[in-house]
Amino acid sequence: MWRAQLGPHYDGDPRQGGVGDTTRRCIVEVVCPDCNNVLGRMHDEPGGVGLAVWVPAEGQSPSNVTSKRLGWTLYSLISDPELGDDEASVLNCWRGHGGLWITVGECRASVERYRAKGRKVRLVVGRMPDEPANV
Ligand SMILES: [Zn+2]
C-alpha cells in the first residue's frame, strides 16, 4: 500500500520524522495497541490526506553498538482513489511490538471520524491476520 519509502533515520520520532512538518495539520495518530506508542500520523495536505508511519529497519548490523535504531518512513496518499480499501501493511512498533496491521479502509474511516468530530483521532491498529490477502 505504500507509495514512498523515506529515510533512513534514527529512533523513530513521529514529531520529527520523515515527511512530517509543522505546516500541515495532523488529523489522525496511528497508535500501537500494546504501548500506545505513536507509530505514524495522517495529515491534511494540499493533495489530499497523507499517511506517514515510522518503522524500524529489518536486519540491522550486529556491529552497530550504538543505541540508535535505524528506520524508515513509509508514506502513502490515503485519499488516492487508486488505493483500495483492502490494501494493508504490516507495522512494527519501535518498542518491539511486531505483527501489527494497518488497512487503507480503517485509515479512511479514521479520517471520516476526524471530519465528523473536528478533533484529532487516534487509530489503534490491529493484529496481522493469519493469511494476509493483499499486502
Ligand atoms: Zn508498541
Q: Evaluate if residue 25 carries a pLDDT over 90.
A: no
On whether residue 135 sits in a domain, the answer given is no
Whole-number Å distance, alpha carbon 82 to ligand 1 midpoint, is: 30
> What integer is the mean pLDDT of 26-45?
94
Total number of domains constituting the chain? 1
Q: Grid coordinates in use for 131?
A: 493469511
On whether residue 134 sits in a domain, the answer given is no
Whole-number Å distance, alpha carbon 129 to ligand 1 midpoint, is: 18
Q: For 51-102, what is each residue's pLDDT tens digit? A: 999 888 765 555 555 556 788 889 999 999 999 999 999 999 988 898 999 9
Whole-number Å distance, alpha carbon 95 to ligand 1 midpoint, is: 5
Task: Supply the DSSP symbol for 66.
Answer: S
Residue 75 pLDDT? 93
Q: 53 versus 14: which is more confidently predicted? A: 53
d(CA 95, CA 47): 32
Residue 127 pLDDT? 93
Q: For 100-120, what is each residue's pLDDT tens digit? A: 999 999 999 999 999 999 999
On whether residue 107 sits in a domain, the answer given is yes
On whether residue 96 sits in a domain, the answer given is yes
On whether residue 132 sits in a domain, the answer given is no
